[in-house]
Protein backbone atom coordinates (compact mmCIF):
# COMPACT_ATOMS: atom_id res chain seq x y z
CA UNK A 1 0.00 0.00 0.00
CA UNK A 2 1.35 3.38 -1.05
CA UNK A 3 0.73 6.60 0.91
CA UNK A 4 1.14 10.05 -0.60
CA UNK A 5 1.81 12.90 1.83
CA UNK A 6 1.68 16.47 0.54
CA UNK A 7 3.90 18.85 2.54
CA UNK A 8 4.10 22.64 2.48
CA UNK A 9 6.95 24.97 3.34
CA UNK A 10 5.63 27.72 5.60
CA UNK A 11 6.85 30.37 8.03
CA UNK A 12 7.80 28.63 11.29
CA UNK A 13 4.94 28.68 13.79
CA UNK A 14 7.03 30.55 16.38
CA UNK A 15 7.57 33.54 14.10
CA UNK A 16 5.33 36.56 14.52
CA UNK A 17 4.97 37.73 10.93
CA UNK A 18 5.03 41.37 9.83
CA UNK A 19 3.19 42.95 6.95
CA UNK A 20 5.38 44.72 4.38
CA UNK A 21 5.21 48.49 4.56
CA UNK A 22 3.29 48.76 1.29
CA UNK A 23 0.70 46.14 2.28
CA UNK A 24 1.67 43.94 -0.66
CA UNK A 25 2.23 40.89 1.50
CA UNK A 26 3.99 39.42 4.46
CA UNK A 27 7.72 40.01 5.00
CA UNK A 28 9.40 36.68 4.23
CA UNK A 29 13.00 37.84 3.80
CA UNK A 30 15.21 36.31 6.48
CA UNK A 31 12.26 34.62 8.18
CA UNK A 32 12.66 31.07 9.49
CA UNK A 33 10.76 28.54 7.38
CA UNK A 34 9.65 25.05 8.36
CA UNK A 35 7.41 22.18 7.35
CA UNK A 36 3.77 23.01 8.06
CA UNK A 37 3.09 21.44 11.50
CA UNK A 38 -0.02 19.60 10.31
CA UNK A 39 1.91 18.11 7.39
CA UNK A 40 4.58 16.95 9.80
CA UNK A 41 1.84 15.07 11.67
CA UNK A 42 0.66 13.61 8.34
CA UNK A 43 4.18 12.39 7.54
CA UNK A 44 4.47 10.84 11.00
CA UNK A 45 1.20 8.97 10.59
CA UNK A 46 2.21 7.61 7.20
CA UNK A 47 5.61 6.50 8.48
CA UNK A 48 3.97 4.78 11.46
CA UNK A 49 1.64 2.89 9.11
CA UNK A 50 4.66 1.71 7.14
CA UNK A 51 6.55 0.78 10.29
CA UNK A 52 3.50 -1.26 11.36
CA UNK A 53 3.66 -2.99 7.95
CA UNK A 54 0.28 -1.56 6.99
CA UNK A 55 1.91 0.44 4.20
CA UNK A 56 4.81 -0.33 1.90
CA UNK A 57 5.86 3.08 0.66
CA UNK A 58 5.55 6.70 1.79
CA UNK A 59 5.97 9.36 -0.87
CA UNK A 60 6.22 13.01 0.17
CA UNK A 61 5.29 15.65 -2.37
CA UNK A 62 5.59 19.41 -2.28
CA UNK A 63 4.56 22.09 -4.77
CA UNK A 64 6.56 25.31 -4.99
CA UNK A 65 10.04 26.73 -5.50
CA UNK A 66 13.38 24.92 -5.21
CA UNK A 67 13.57 25.75 -1.50
CA UNK A 68 10.75 23.25 -0.88
CA UNK A 69 13.40 20.55 -1.29
CA UNK A 70 14.39 21.37 2.28
CA UNK A 71 10.86 20.60 3.44
CA UNK A 72 10.92 17.33 1.51
CA UNK A 73 14.27 16.43 3.11
CA UNK A 74 12.60 16.93 6.51
CA UNK A 75 9.90 14.46 5.50
CA UNK A 76 12.56 12.03 4.23
CA UNK A 77 14.50 12.36 7.49
CA UNK A 78 11.33 11.48 9.39
CA UNK A 79 11.06 8.31 7.35
CA UNK A 80 9.38 8.98 4.01
CA UNK A 81 10.90 6.73 1.32
CA UNK A 82 11.10 9.17 -1.55
CA UNK A 83 10.01 12.65 -2.51
CA UNK A 84 8.65 14.60 -5.43
CA UNK A 85 8.96 18.34 -5.90
CA UNK A 86 6.47 19.84 -8.31
CA UNK A 87 8.57 22.87 -9.05
CA UNK A 88 7.25 26.33 -9.82
CA UNK A 89 7.99 29.89 -8.75
CA UNK A 90 4.41 30.91 -9.44
CA UNK A 91 2.02 31.85 -6.62
CA UNK A 92 -0.01 28.74 -5.86
CA UNK A 93 -3.50 28.85 -4.36
CA UNK A 94 -5.21 25.79 -2.85
CA UNK A 95 -7.19 24.89 -5.97
CA UNK A 96 -3.99 24.91 -8.06
CA UNK A 97 -2.09 22.87 -5.47
CA UNK A 98 -4.88 20.30 -5.36
CA UNK A 99 -4.86 20.05 -9.16
CA UNK A 100 -1.09 19.50 -9.19
CA UNK A 101 -1.47 16.87 -6.47
CA UNK A 102 -4.22 15.22 -8.47
CA UNK A 103 -1.85 14.99 -11.44
CA UNK A 104 0.81 13.42 -9.19
CA UNK A 105 -1.77 11.03 -7.75
CA UNK A 106 -2.79 9.98 -11.27
CA UNK A 107 0.82 8.91 -11.88
CA UNK A 108 1.55 7.47 -8.45
CA UNK A 109 -1.82 5.80 -7.81
CA UNK A 110 -1.59 6.02 -3.99
CA UNK A 111 -3.99 4.00 -1.86
CA UNK A 112 -4.13 6.75 0.73
CA UNK A 113 -3.36 10.45 0.77
CA UNK A 114 -2.72 12.07 4.15
CA UNK A 115 -2.64 15.89 4.13
CA UNK A 116 -2.38 18.35 6.99
CA UNK A 117 -5.78 19.88 7.74
CA UNK A 118 -4.60 23.41 7.11
CA UNK A 119 -1.44 25.35 6.39
CA UNK A 120 -0.57 27.80 9.14
CA UNK A 121 0.26 30.58 6.65
CA UNK A 122 -2.91 30.97 4.58
CA UNK A 123 -5.07 29.04 7.08
CA UNK A 124 -7.26 28.00 4.13
CA UNK A 125 -8.15 24.46 5.19
CA UNK A 126 -9.09 23.40 1.65
CA UNK A 127 -6.49 21.34 -0.17
CA UNK A 128 -7.35 17.86 1.13
CA UNK A 129 -11.06 18.32 0.54
CA UNK A 130 -10.49 19.68 -2.99
CA UNK A 131 -8.12 16.82 -3.81
CA UNK A 132 -10.64 14.23 -2.58
CA UNK A 133 -13.31 15.81 -4.79
CA UNK A 134 -11.02 15.91 -7.84
CA UNK A 135 -10.08 12.27 -7.28
CA UNK A 136 -13.74 11.35 -6.78
CA UNK A 137 -12.83 9.72 -3.46
CA UNK A 138 -14.06 9.79 0.10
CA UNK A 139 -12.63 12.25 2.59
CA UNK A 140 -12.07 12.21 6.33
CA UNK A 141 -10.93 15.61 7.55
CA UNK A 142 -9.54 16.71 10.95
CA UNK A 143 -8.45 13.19 11.86
CA UNK A 144 -7.34 12.36 15.40
CA UNK A 145 -7.14 8.58 14.91
CA UNK A 146 -6.72 6.16 11.98
CA UNK A 147 -7.42 2.45 12.11
CA UNK A 148 -6.76 0.47 8.95
CA UNK A 149 -8.12 -3.03 8.50
CA UNK A 150 -7.70 -4.47 5.03
CA UNK A 151 -8.97 -1.87 2.59
CA UNK A 152 -11.24 -0.20 5.14
CA UNK A 153 -10.06 2.85 6.97
CA UNK A 154 -11.79 4.03 10.14
CA UNK A 155 -11.07 7.65 10.92
CA UNK A 156 -11.99 9.46 14.11
CA UNK A 157 -12.53 13.15 13.39
CA UNK A 158 -12.52 16.16 15.66
CA UNK A 159 -15.80 17.97 15.03
CA UNK A 160 -17.38 20.93 16.83
CA UNK A 161 -19.48 18.81 19.17
CA UNK A 162 -16.82 16.20 20.00
CA UNK A 163 -15.70 13.23 17.94
CA UNK A 164 -17.11 11.38 14.96
CA UNK A 165 -15.89 8.17 13.34
CA UNK A 166 -16.20 7.50 9.60
CA UNK A 167 -15.40 4.40 7.57
CA UNK A 168 -14.00 4.74 4.06
CA UNK A 169 -12.81 2.30 1.47
CA UNK A 170 -9.34 2.97 0.04
CA UNK A 171 -8.28 4.94 -1.91
CA UNK A 172 -9.26 7.87 0.26
CA UNK A 173 -8.02 11.25 1.46
CA UNK A 174 -7.46 12.06 5.13
CA UNK A 175 -6.48 15.39 6.68
CA UNK A 176 -4.55 15.35 9.94
CA UNK A 177 -5.48 17.29 13.06
CA UNK A 178 -3.12 18.11 15.94
CA UNK A 179 -3.92 15.14 18.12
CA UNK A 180 -3.40 12.43 15.49
CA UNK A 181 0.12 11.83 16.83
CA UNK A 182 3.21 13.54 18.13
CA UNK A 183 5.76 13.72 15.33
CA UNK A 184 9.24 12.38 16.03
CA UNK A 185 12.36 14.48 15.83
CA UNK A 186 14.58 13.51 12.94
CA UNK A 187 17.84 12.07 14.28
CA UNK A 188 21.18 13.09 12.84
CA UNK A 189 21.80 9.69 11.19
CA UNK A 190 18.35 9.88 9.61
CA UNK A 191 19.00 13.42 8.39
CA UNK A 192 22.18 12.11 6.75
CA UNK A 193 20.35 9.15 5.25
CA UNK A 194 17.64 11.45 3.91
CA UNK A 195 20.20 13.23 1.75
CA UNK A 196 20.61 10.04 -0.25
CA UNK A 197 16.95 9.22 -0.66
CA UNK A 198 15.45 9.85 -4.12
CA UNK A 199 13.99 13.31 -4.71
CA UNK A 200 12.45 13.76 -8.13
CA UNK A 201 11.87 17.25 -9.52
CA UNK A 202 8.92 17.67 -11.88
CA UNK A 203 8.42 21.04 -13.55
CA UNK A 204 4.83 22.07 -12.74
CA UNK A 205 4.40 23.01 -16.40
CA UNK A 206 4.88 19.38 -17.42
CA UNK A 207 1.73 18.31 -15.57
CA UNK A 208 -0.65 20.14 -17.90
CA UNK A 209 -2.48 21.92 -15.09
CA UNK A 210 -3.71 25.51 -15.14
CA UNK A 211 -2.28 26.94 -11.93
CA UNK A 212 -3.08 30.60 -12.56
CA UNK A 213 -4.32 32.23 -9.32
CA UNK A 214 -8.06 32.77 -9.25
CA UNK A 215 -8.10 35.12 -6.26
CA UNK A 216 -6.35 38.48 -5.98
CA UNK A 217 -4.87 39.42 -2.63
CA UNK A 218 -5.01 43.17 -2.93
CA UNK A 219 -4.02 44.39 0.51
CA UNK A 220 -2.45 43.02 3.66
CA UNK A 221 -2.85 44.75 6.99
CA UNK A 222 -2.22 44.01 10.62
CA UNK A 223 -5.37 43.90 12.72
CA UNK A 224 -5.91 46.77 15.11
CA UNK A 225 -3.96 46.06 18.26
CA UNK A 226 -6.00 45.85 21.45
CA UNK A 227 -5.38 48.85 23.60
CA UNK A 228 -3.28 48.19 26.66
CA UNK A 229 -5.26 47.07 29.67
CA UNK A 230 -4.53 47.43 33.34
CA UNK A 231 -3.26 45.22 36.13
CA UNK A 232 -5.65 44.82 39.02
CA UNK A 233 -4.29 44.48 42.54
CA UNK A 234 -6.62 41.75 43.72
CA UNK A 235 -9.84 39.86 43.12
CA UNK A 236 -11.94 42.57 44.77
CA UNK A 237 -10.67 45.19 42.33
CA UNK A 238 -11.24 42.81 39.42
CA UNK A 239 -14.84 42.20 40.43
CA UNK A 240 -15.49 45.88 40.99
CA UNK A 241 -14.07 46.84 37.59
CA UNK A 242 -15.95 44.10 35.76
CA UNK A 243 -19.18 45.25 37.39
CA UNK A 244 -18.83 49.01 37.33
CA UNK A 245 -16.41 49.82 34.53
CA UNK A 246 -16.72 47.06 31.93
CA UNK A 247 -20.28 46.21 33.02
CA UNK A 248 -19.94 42.64 31.81
CA UNK A 249 -21.06 40.83 34.96
Partner 1 sequence: MKTLVIAEHDNAALAPATLNVLAAAARLGGEVDLLVAGQDCRAVAEVAAAVAGVARVILVDAPAYKDQLAENLAALVVAQVRTKSYGAVLAAASAFGKNLAPRVAALLDVAQVSDVVSITAVGRYVRPIYAGNVLVSVESDEPVQVLTVRPTSFDAVAATGGAATVEEAQAEADLGLSRLVGRALSKSERPELGSAAIVVSGGRGLGNGDNYQQVLAPLADRLGAALGASRAAVDAGYVPNDYQVGQTGKIVAPGLYLAVGISGAIQHLAGMKDSKVIVAINKDPDAPIFQVADYGLVGDLFEAVPQLTASLAS
Site residues, ligand FAD (CB under 6 A): 13, 37, 120, 178
- How many Cβ atoms sit within 10 Å of the Cβ of residue 141? 21
Number of residues located near partner 1, criterion CB under 8 A? 78
Cα–Cα nearest to 47, from 146, 143, 126, 121: 146
- Considering beta carbons, is residue 14 or 53 the nearer one to partner 1? 14
- Considering beta carbons, is residue 38 or 104 the nearer one to ligand FAD? 38
Q: Which residues, numbered 166-205, are part of the site for partner 1 (CB under 8 A)?
A: 166-169, 172, 177-179
CB under 5 to 8 A by kind: which of partner 1, ligand FAD, none does 91 bind? none
Question: 105 Cβ partners below 8 Å, 6+ apart?
Answer: 4, 113, 131, 135
Element (H, E) at 201: strand 199-203
Shortest distance, position 178 Cβ to partner 1, whole Å: 6
Shortest distance, position 181 Cβ to partner 1, whole Å: 12
Cα–Cα nearest to 138, from 109, 175, 183: 175
Q: Which residues, numbered 205-224, are part of the site for partner 1 (CB under 8 A)?
A: 213-223
CB under 5 to 8 A by kind: which of ligand FAD, partner 1, none does 137 bind? partner 1
Angle formed at CA 121 by CA 139 and CA 199, multiple of 5 degrees: 70
**Pair type for strands 138-149 and 199-203:** unpaired
Shortest distance, position 13 Cβ to ligand FAD, whole Å: 4
Shortest distance, position 38 Cβ to ligand FAD, whole Å: 6
Amino acid sequence: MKILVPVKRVVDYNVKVRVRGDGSGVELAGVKMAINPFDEIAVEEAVRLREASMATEVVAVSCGPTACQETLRTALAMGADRAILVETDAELQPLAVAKLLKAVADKEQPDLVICGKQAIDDDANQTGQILAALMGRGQATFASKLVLSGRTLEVTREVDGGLETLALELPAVVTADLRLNEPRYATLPNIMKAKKKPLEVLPAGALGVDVAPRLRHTRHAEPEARKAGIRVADVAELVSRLKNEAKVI
